[in-house]
Structure 1
Amino acid sequence: MKLKLLFLLTFLFFITGYSQDSIPKYKWLRSGLVVGYASQNTIFKQDSDYTYETVCFKFSNHFNFYKKNKNSWEILIEPSYYRSQHQLLNYWFISHTVENGDELRAKFMPLKSMNEYVLNIGVVYRRYLNTSSSVFATLNSGPMYIDTDTERLKKGFAFSDIFTFGYNYRLKNVSFDTKCVFRHVSNADLQMPNFGLNSIGFEFGTYFELN
């Protein structure tokens, strides 16, 4: 929830600071395809109760919002598909006092494959190092649908919150980037359970540049 609030405040700040004079010739800055991998234990072990791995495919669109000198801000719109795997590891995560505990363990402890359909919207801050390369950070959030029940998250509507930082290199009208990704999935207590799913990973993108 804190990430959603931070995203909203950041977005509103730049909306109120909007200036027609700050927008360059092309509003649409870049569009491309992104692939990535992330897991609950990619870099360090976050939780021994479960495993969670994702492979993602994204259609990434960046709209130039403000640009001055070596700094720019962009609006990010990113429809995404995640193919994920999840498994409950901790037998006692489901308490022995639960009446149907054995039934729930039998349902949730096998390895599961899941589909996640996401629409993330956010902001990108970019710092140009020279005419062909830049470093950037993104903060985005959006609605998603997950098609499988787990002990941590109910099937159905949820939110995908993402923070990234990375490097982009441009070669004429094409650019390439790589970034580190931190992602949290939860449903804001709209359904139970809502323990959430966390992952850290890497993404690689190829873009067509329009400015």
Structure 2
Amino acid sequence: MIPKRIFFILLLSTVFQLQAQEKNDNYRLGISYGFGSEFNNTDYTFTNHFYKAQFYWKIKETKNFHYEILIEPEINFGKHQLLNLYFVKPETPNFEQKRIEYMRLKNIHEYVLNFGFIVRKPIGKICSCYVLGSIGPMITDTETERMSKGFSFADVFALGFTIDYNKFRFDVRPNVRHVSNAGLGSSNAGYNTRNIEFGISCRL
């Protein structure tokens, strides 16, 4: 009688562990690092590097695709300089002083909370590629000729490739990024950058 009870307990324990593993396959935590620069232009320079924490939630899986929600708190370190002084027009108050101020090299800190949606295509058992679109509120700490200090938004479109190894997933993500404040500030030209990002996440 005792061996049967032990067997039953072990069986239940195995079932619960498998259910927990199946459930946890839907969630991942990760980190990433990336860097980039503006698209070539004659008005300004902008280079940046950034760090993100990542939370992945797989909300649906079909035969060919996985659909995921991605939440990414981010801190972005940028360097910006105005090149074209005529970008600041004479109708701008104190435009001569503004031109001098804006043409200095500036350090910019951006604090972002990205909300993204991923469509992932598995390739074999360990690889996948995906498309990501995200948008999120952002606080920037420096005023420039292109964007006011304070509240704005960051939009990202990315293509990515991943490789799985045990519980870990290694990620390479080229992307394009646009930041602006949707007209909420006096300056709203924004920045456009091309970036590359490297990440690692772990199944929970």
TM-score by length of 2: 0.86
Q: Counterparts of 1:134 and 1:77 in 2: how far apart (Å)?
A: 19
Structure 1 SS opposite 2:24: coil
Aligned to 2:143: 149
- 1:33 equivalent to 2:27? Answer no
| CA contact 1:27–1:65 (8 Å) conserved in 2 | no
Aligned to 2:201: 207
Q: Which runs of 4+ in 1 moved over 2 A?
A: 24-29, 95-99
Q: Counterparts of 1:49 and 1:196 in 2: how far apart (Å)?
A: 12
Q: How far did 1:124 drift?
A: 0.5
Q: How far did 1:25 drift?
A: 2.4
Aligned to 1:128: 122
Aligned to 1:175: 169
- 1:89 equivalent to 2:83? Answer yes
Q: Counterparts of 2:152 and 2:90 in 1: how far apart (Å)?
A: 28
Q: How far did 1:68 drift?
A: 1.3
Structure 2 SS opposite 1:25: helix
CA 1:90–1:26: 2 relative to 1, 3 Å: same
Q: How far did 1:70 drift?
A: 3.0
Aligned to 2:100: 106
For 1:62, which of 56, 59, 64 is the aligned residue? 56
| CA contact 2:24–2:203 (8 Å) conserved in 1 | no
Q: How far did 1:61 drift?
A: 1.0
Q: Counterparts of 2:25 and 2:202 in 1: how far apart (Å)?
A: 14
How many positions carry a matched residue from both structures? Answer: 183
AA aligned opposite 1:95: K
Structure 1 residues 61-108: Cα deviation after superposition (integer angstroms, max 9, x where no partner): 110110012310000100000010110000211124545221001110
Structure 2 spans left out of the alignment, 5+ residues: 1-21
Q: How far did 1:156 drift?
A: 0.0
Q: Counterparts of 2:93 and 2:55 in 1: how far apart (Å)?
A: 49
| CA contact 2:26–2:59 (8 Å) conserved in 1 | no
Structure 2 SS opposite 1:110: coil
- Percent identical pairs in the alignment equals 36
TM-score by length of 1: 0.83
Name the larger-Rg structure. Answer: 2
| CA contact 1:37–1:55 (8 Å) conserved in 2 | yes
Q: Counterparts of 2:24 and 2:42 in 1: how far apart (Å)?
A: 48
- 1:75 equivalent to 2:73? Answer no
AA aligned opposite 1:208: C
Structure 1 spans left out of the alignment, 5+ residues: 1-23
| CA contact 1:27–1:63 (8 Å) conserved in 2 | no
